[in-house]
Amino acid sequence: MYWNDHSPPHFHAKYGSYEIVVTIGTCVVEGKFSKRALQHVIEWSDLHKEELLNDWELCREGKPPRRIAPLE
């Protein structure tokens, strides 16, 4: 997430030279990723939706986001 980024709430994910933007909650994706990497990001996003939204609000307030556990 980037400080003071535009709405809707979203996060950026990078994999190699690829980057996507994922809307939190709807999992709308902009950009390209490998199919396998994209599946992992979507699964992780679904599992941590509330934490992601909380971090979005923290960033909007200029506060550091909390760490979210990786997909295991």
Per-residue pLDDT tens digits for 19-62: 999 999 999 999 999 999 999 999 999 999 999 999 999 999 99
Q: What tokens does 8 get?
A: 């809707």
27 Ramachandran zone, left/alpha/beta (phi>0; psi -120 to 50):
left
Chain-centre distance of CA 35, in angstroms?
17
Total Cβ atoms within 10 A of residue 52:
22
Q: What angle do CA 13, 17, 20 make, to 5 degrees?
A: 30
- Total-model pTM: 0.90
